[in-house]
Structure 1
Amino acid sequence: MQNTEAIWRLVENKRDDFAALSDRVWDTPELNYDEHRSAAAHREMLQREGFRVRTGLAGIPTAVMGEAGEDGPVIAILGEYDALPGLSQEAGVAEHRPIESGGNGHGCGHNLLGSASMLAAAAVKDWLAAQGIKGRVRYYGCPAEEGGSAKGFMVRGGVFDDVDIAICWHPASFSGVNKAISLACMEVDFSFTGRASHAAGSPQLGRSALDAVELMSVGVNYLREHMADGARIHYALQDAGGIAPNVVQARARVRYLVRAKTLPEMQALLARVVKVSEGAALMTETRVEHRVLSADANLVGNAPLERAMQDNFDRLGPPRFDEADKAFARAIQATLTPEEIAAAYRRAGIAPIPGEALCERIVPLEAPEPKSFGSTDVGTVSWVVPTVQARGTTYALGTPGHSWQLVAQGKTPAAHKGLEHVAKVMAGTAVDALLDPELVARAKADHRARLAETPFVQPIPPEVQPPLGMAHHG
């Protein structure tokens, strides 16, 4: 308990600086691989804290790593700082009020994610120095989680090869160990090429790439009946071929995101989507090419690390919020539907409490698994390093991810309290691993056993490079 309280105090001593870092990143929301100001802010804080800093990891300009300590096990704490498009929103107001029309916003709380992770790493750094214990702590600043799969490229680049365990978290409407469940996914552009013509004077001479995109959508929609449970397919039009309806569109491009519970299921589903695209091209007498942008593996759990993290949650207790925090959370909830609030409880696997605005409970480890979930590039890391994730309460119950409501709560006192709380949990878990070689050994044994059943296959094809320009080119 002495070491636990010591690491908590170190987190408390630094919390204001890291809350300020979170707010600074919130103020400059940047998209996949374009997080230059956010990465610079993280690099400057690492240097200020005395870490040994490396930049440009795996050839990615906005990836940064800070290391402290000597010899011993290597504990990685992972952070992120990318935002989302179209979610610009003023902070601290419970109504939709964009700062910039069509601008970016931190709709997944990654401003908090990176800051809390670095806060935990900085506290562990100081604890190692004070205790004189052999061991290294690293903070990895990872860009482009939102569809860019930067961690997957970093895995392929070997930047986690000597890491013993990895720790991370994600902002949420509840606190507890994150269930190691996610969907494998791949993001792919389908580009159709046809032939332009006058849409009225000589329509028979045209071959419409836009028709092909629309027919592909029809085909994929029929495919949805025949997908495995849990699989998902989403799409977004990247290039409609122009704005003139009297021209047959000679080009069009659509981006598909294909997800499934496992990599083999995802690959099989993607193969069917590719066949649908080829059928659309055949029907329209156009050509189609597809290009993989990114891919994530599904998460691999780790029972010893999950138990250790749960023990830290239980020792610390739940986050505590004051009446002002709860009043603003209730104002946010007034913009939500009852179903959105009910879905938050289902995701956490806990019973609803009438009138609860901010969760002041710890979700037990044995809570039911969620029935719906997304994807994360942490999944790829979890195949090569024993990995554990936390969820930390930073916003009102029911707040949808990727929403203006989440952006609005990104700088609140409640968010800062959640940042500190989960930093303590991650730092405490790291200290437990540094003090207990058997915990690290059990985590590695558990990891080996899982991979013995299903060996790791890198989801990103070898010829695919980080799509560094995807924020600008769609």
Structure 2
Amino acid sequence: MDNIEKWFYKNDDKIKQTAKFIFENPELALEERKSSECLAKFMEQQGFSIEWKAGGLETAFVATWGEGEPILGFLAEYDALPGLGQKPVGERCEVEGSGHGCGHNLLGVGAASAAAALKNELESTGKKATIKLFGCPAEEIMYGKIIMAEQGCFDGLSAAITWHPSDVNRVGEDIYQAMDSKKFRFFGTTSHASGSPHLGRSALDAAELMNVGVNYLREHVTDDIRIHYVYLDGGEKANIVPDFAQTSYFIRGKNREHVDEVSARIERIAQGAALMTDTRYESELVASCMETKLNFTLLDTFYNAMSNILVPTYTEEEIQFAESISKAANLKNKGKYFDGLHKFKNKATDIFVSTDVSNVSHLVPTVTLNTATACKGTPLHHWAFTAQAGSSIGYKSMIYVAKSMAQGAKMLIDNSEILVKAVEEHKSI
């Protein structure tokens, strides 16, 4: 048993209890006070120094140990999703409020465990490196790492390492989409909707006309474009002409160029809607992320690390749990609930979701791993994913990926040529 394995054997219960606490105390983006404090305390107990308010964000922190190079950064997340409260059971058992439908209770603790285990390895061998764990809030609203990157938090890193819960075990060869998150606000004039409608200027009409225009736009964009919106405000009573309406838009595409083009066209549609209704509009760019910049040198290295660690096996009780989840959530897995490690294809794949990790990937060589914290076919942002994030299935997968990240990082320290090659690849793209 090597030093990394020894650390996990010794701290197994503490790791699971930390993930359980965050699962039982879900907090939305930028509200993750208990979660961030719990994770920071975990790292402090492992001998890391803590710096709070990284990038000026209240619930962001950086935990640091060691000295010299390489400087390896592990990225942790811990925000939950609204409306996905769920007990860790095999049927819909709703808990009021938010829940970890993306498994971020596991994500943050897994990254923290990898960093702590790597520290134990370096202490035991006397090798030099600097290890940082970045506590990153608000990934679900595409915000935390973008702000932290703008404020220089990731400057100087040799490489960034992270993972995300999934229904498969693999290295992440996915290119996440670039995205703009925008709010559109329309300002009109109130009036009695029946008695004096001619005096009113409806902000809600403007918002609806904008959305109609955007829906017609869908026919005239490239296939990679995804546009989705919700109403945030639209008036209080039907007999009052609304003087304020607000929508929230996500605009995604395979790269920044596509997103910028479509985002500009949507701005013009909003302007046209305001002109048609004699209202005024303004827009706010809430967040803007890049597409992912993959690093195949790091992907190959961490695939080798994952290959040398046993993929989780499951008890009869866990298989029954997966079966119950599959039936209750109507998952299309045909009774095959888990796979082994998927082969490294050495080929990029475009996917239709976004992450703020992408912005980090444009600054430093970055690698993402995926492991099956849920049975096959379980969608993210779903109660069934929440249920498994609080179960032994989720915990086993978290330990597996944490060991993989620690062992992969050890390979970067033991063989400096890997990082040299990774940096060269990063610069060449």
Q: TM-score range by the shorter chain?
A: over 0.9
> What is the CA-CA distance between 1:97 and the residue it aligns to?
2.1
Does the C-alpha gap of structure 1 residues 371 and 52 become closer, same or farther in structure 2, counting only changes over 3 Å? closer
The structure 2 residue matched to 1:341, chosen from 324, 332, 341, is 332
- TM-score scaled by length of structure 1: 0.88
Partner of 1:289: 282
Residue type of the alignment partner of 2:393: A
Residue type of the alignment partner of 2:83: G
> Superposition pairs for residues 270-285 of structure 1, below 5 Å?
270-285=263-278
Query: Which runs of 5 or more structure 1 residues have no equivalent in the other structure?
Result: 343-353, 451-474
Question: What SS does structure 2 have at the residue aligned with 1:198?
Answer: coil
Partner of 2:214: 220
Does the C-alpha gap of structure 1 residues 109 and 390 become closer, same or farther in structure 2, counting only changes over 3 Å? same
Tell me if structure 1 keeps the 8 A contact 2:178–2:256: yes
The structure 2 residue matched to 1:96, chosen from 76, 92, 103, is 92
Q: Counterparts of 2:9 and 2:167 in 1: how far apart (Å)?
A: 22
Matched, 1:446 2:420: no
Tell me if structure 1 keeps the 8 A contact 2:372–2:397: yes
Question: What SS does structure 1 have at the residue aligned with 2:215?
Answer: helix
Q: Counterparts of 2:11 and 2:169 in 1: how far apart (Å)?
A: 21
Partner of 1:63: 60
Matched, 1:411 2:411: no
Q: Counterparts of 1:371 and 1:185 in 2: how far apart (Å)?
A: 14
Tell me if structure 1 keeps the 8 A contact 2:180–2:285: yes
Q: Counterparts of 1:156 and 1:200 in 2: how far apart (Å)?
A: 50
Matched, 1:399 2:358: no
Q: Counterparts of 1:28 and 1:317 in 2: how far apart (Å)?
A: 31
Question: What SS does structure 2 have at the residue aligned with 1:408?
Answer: helix
Tell me whether 216-225 or 368-377 shows the greater mean CA deviation: 368-377
Tell me if structure 1 keeps the 8 A contact 2:183–2:249: yes
> What is the CA-CA distance between 1:369 and the residue it aligns to?
5.7
The structure 2 residue matched to 1:358, chosen from 338, 349, 353, is 338
Residue type of the alignment partner of 1:374: V
Partner of 1:46: 43
Q: Counterparts of 1:341 and 1:175 in 2: how far apart (Å)?
A: 18
Tell me whether 148-157 or 249-258 shows the greater mean CA deviation: 148-157
The structure 1 residue matched to 2:407, chosen from 408, 425, 428, is 428
Q: Counterparts of 2:398 and 2:294 in 1: how far apart (Å)?
A: 23
Question: What SS does structure 2 have at the residue aligned with 1:316?
Answer: coil
Does the C-alpha gap of structure 1 residues 196 and 233 become closer, same or farther in structure 2, counting only changes over 3 Å? same
Partner of 2:187: 193
Q: Deviations for 1:276-324, whole angstroms, at most 9, x for unmatched residues?
A: 1111111111100001111211110101100001101111142211221
Partner of 1:160: 154
Question: What SS does structure 2 have at the residue aligned with 1:9?
Answer: helix
Q: Counterparts of 1:220 and 1:200 in 2: how far apart (Å)?
A: 29
Residue type of the alignment partner of 2:77: E
> What is the CA-CA distance between 1:225 and the residue it aligns to?
1.0
Q: Deviations for 1:177-231, whole angstroms, at most 9, x for unmatched residues?
A: 0113100001111000001000100111111111111111111111111111221
Q: Counterparts of 1:318 and 1:25 in 2: how far apart (Å)?
A: 24
Q: Counterparts of 1:286 and 1:299 in 2: how far apart (Å)?
A: 38
Question: What SS does structure 1 have at the residue aligned with 2:298?
Answer: helix
Question: What SS does structure 1 have at the residue aligned with 2:353?
Answer: coil
Q: Counterparts of 1:124 and 1:13 in 2: how far apart (Å)?
A: 14
Partner of 1:378: 357
> What is the CA-CA distance between 1:373 and the residue it aligns to?
2.9
> What is the CA-CA distance between 1:368 and the residue it aligns to?
7.0
Q: Counterparts of 1:72 and 1:307 in 2: how far apart (Å)?
A: 21
Q: Counterparts of 1:255 and 1:78 in 2: how far apart (Å)?
A: 27
Matched, 1:142 2:172: no
Tell me if structure 1 keeps the 8 A contact 2:166–2:373: yes
> What is the CA-CA distance between 1:9 and the residue it aligns to?
2.8
Tell me if structure 2 keeps the 8 A contact 1:180–1:300: no
Partner of 1:347: none
Q: Which structure 1 residue ranges, 4+ long, deviate > 6 Å from structure 2? A: none
Partner of 1:249: 242
> What is the CA-CA distance between 1:49 and the residue it aligns to?
1.1
Aligned-pair Cα RMSD in Å: 1.4
Matched, 1:302 2:321: no
Tell me if structure 1 keeps the 8 A contact 2:60–2:136: yes
Residue type of the alignment partner of 2:270: S
Q: Give identity over the alignment, percent.
A: 36
Tell me if structure 2 keeps the 8 A contact 1:317–1:362: no
> What is the CA-CA distance between 1:421 and the residue it aligns to?
0.3
Q: Counterparts of 2:349 and 2:381 in 1: how far apart (Å)?
A: 18
The structure 1 residue matched to 2:107, chosen from 100, 113, 122, is 113
Residue type of the alignment partner of 2:271: E
Question: What SS does structure 2 have at the residue aligned with 1:53?
Answer: strand
> What is the CA-CA distance between 1:149 and the residue it aligns to?
1.7
> What is the CA-CA distance between 1:335 and the residue it aligns to?
2.4
Matched, 1:387 2:330: no
Q: Counterparts of 1:278 and 1:8 in 2: how far apart (Å)?
A: 59
Tell me if structure 1 keeps the 8 A contact 2:254–2:350: no
Partner of 1:327: 320
Q: Counterparts of 1:270 and 1:16 in 2: how far apart (Å)?
A: 48
> What is the CA-CA distance between 1:371 and the residue it aligns to?
5.9
> What is the CA-CA distance between 1:256 and the residue it aligns to?
0.4
> What is the CA-CA distance between 1:104 and the residue it aligns to?
0.7
Tell me whether 361-370 or 224-233 shows the greater mean CA deviation: 361-370
> What is the CA-CA distance between 1:425 and the residue it aligns to?
0.6
Question: What SS does structure 2 have at the residue aligned with 1:434?
Answer: helix
Partner of 1:37: 34
Q: Counterparts of 2:311 and 2:346 in 1: how far apart (Å)?
A: 16
Tell me if structure 2 keeps the 8 A contact 1:321–1:358: no
Q: Counterparts of 1:434 and 1:241 in 2: how far apart (Å)?
A: 58
